[in-house]
Amino acid sequence: LSMIGSDVHIKCSASGIPQPTTTWRVNGGPLQESPARNRRVIGDTIVIHNAQVSDSAVYQCEASNRHGTILSNANIMIMNLQPMILTSEGEEYSVVERKGVTMHCKVFSSPPSTITWSKDDSPESVHGPRFTVHENGSLKIYNVERGDTGQYTCLAKNTEGSSAINAMLYVKDPTRIVVAPEDQRILIGTTAQLSCLAEYDKSFSNDFELLWEKDDMEIALK
Residues making up the chain, counted from first to last: 222
Q: Is residue 130 part of a domain?
A: yes
Which residues does 157 contact at the CB level (< 8 Å), separation at least 6?
Answer: 83, 113, 114, 116
CB 34 within 8 A of CB 26: yes
Q: Is residue 140 part of a domain?
A: yes
What confidence score (pLDDT) does residue 203 get? 81
What confidence score (pLDDT) does residue 1 get? 81
3 state SS of 55 = helix
For 194, what's the count of Cα atoms within 13 Å in the CB-facing half-sphere? 12
Whether residue 157 sits in one domain with residue 92: yes
Whether residue 135 sits in one domain with residue 159: yes
Q: Is residue 114 part of a domain?
A: yes
How many domains does one find in the chain? 2
Tell me which residue of 75, 86, 67, 82 sits closest to 20, measured CA to CA: 67
Q: Is residue 87 part of a domain?
A: yes
CB-CB neighbours of 210 under 10 Å: 11
Q: Which helix (H) or strand (E) holds 220?
A: none
Whether residue 158 sits in one domain with residue 105: yes
> pLDDT tens across 80-123, in order?
999 999 999 999 999 999 999 999 999 999 999 999 999 999 99
CB 167 within 8 A of CB 120: no
> pLDDT tens across 181-213, in order?
999 999 999 998 999 999 888 887 788 888 999
Is cis: bond before 18, omega within 30 of 0? Answer: yes
**Band of residue 51 on the pLDDT scale cut at 50, 70, 90:** very high
Tell me which residue of 69, 65, 73 sits closest to 26, measured CA to CA: 73
Q: Is residue 214 part of a domain?
A: no
Q: Is residue 139 part of a domain?
A: yes
Q: Which helix (H) or strand (E) holds 56?
A: none
Q: What is the amino acid identity at position 152?
A: Y
Domain ranges, residue 66 = 8-76
Whether residue 167 sits in one domain with residue 85: yes
Q: Is residue 3 part of a domain?
A: no
Q: Is residue 12 part of a domain?
A: yes
Whether residue 157 sits in one domain with residue 106: yes
Q: At 44, which CATH number?
A: 2.60.40.10
Whether residue 140 sits in one domain with residue 111: yes
Whether residue 36 sits in one domain with residue 92: no
